[in-house]
Chain A
Amino acid sequence: ELKVEQNPLFLSMQEGKNYTIYCNYSTTSDRLYWYRQDPGKSLESLFVLLSNGAVKQEGRLMASLDTKARLSTLHITAAVHDLSATYFCAVDKRGNSGNTPLVFGKGTRLSVIA
């Protein structure tokens, strides 16, 4: 059974600092997704990583994928309060085709403090 693990599960960061969230998964996949969820809200797609070595950046967030290590990272640069949210990584339940149900990690609850 595919397992997706994130760490840390809780992260309190000071504004202006950098940090990395890690996502490990247990089976082969060339495709990984990052979502953001604000309290009481639905999931917003952040990144779709489609191949080994893929790197995508949006503002202060950068995501990368190492399929050999079955590891993705979400790096936060110079955190600001607006980044406070829960971040989920997810992997296709079956293989690399997309179009299958997703298996999510438990999420990393990020709090950025002044």
Chain B
Amino acid sequence: DTGVSQNPRHKITKRGQNVTFRCDPISEHNRLYWYRQTLGQGPEFLTYFQNEAQLEKSRLLSDRFSAERPKGSFSTLEIQRTEQGDSAMYLCASSLGTGFQREQYFGPGTRLTVT
């Protein structure tokens, strides 16, 4: 069990560019979540998947954001036409769909800076 991994760990991009982040969950976990965290705040939910199905998208997820989990394993989060307000830490978490505790395990995050 290597834990949740995310790539890249840091991304600096210019306003207007597109970026894509990847998340690899813990291998047996069927639920995968994306959160965004800005400085001094708690993480805020963006979207989540059960296997390959996207179950919910937050109103924070504008049309410029899209997420996929094509084979129910890794997931990607793409931001098109980045804006300075997109600068944040993007966190991925995964959990088992069954079991009593069902806690979410978080990856190291991708820190995005939009200049």
A residues at B contact (CB < 8 Å): 4, 33, 35, 41-45, 48, 50, 88, 90, 93, 97-99, 101-107
Contacts and interface: CB of A to CB of B under 8 A. Distances in A.
How many B residues are at the interface, by size bracket? 20 to 34
Interface string B93-113: 101010011111111110000
Contact of A93 (B42, B45, B95, B97): B45
Nearest to A47: B103
A45 B104 CA distance: 8
Interface of B: 31, 33, 35, 40-45, 48, 56, 58, 91, 93, 95, 97, 100-109
Given A43-B43, A107-B42, A99 B56 contact: no
Nearest to B105: A45
A103 B44 CA distance: 7
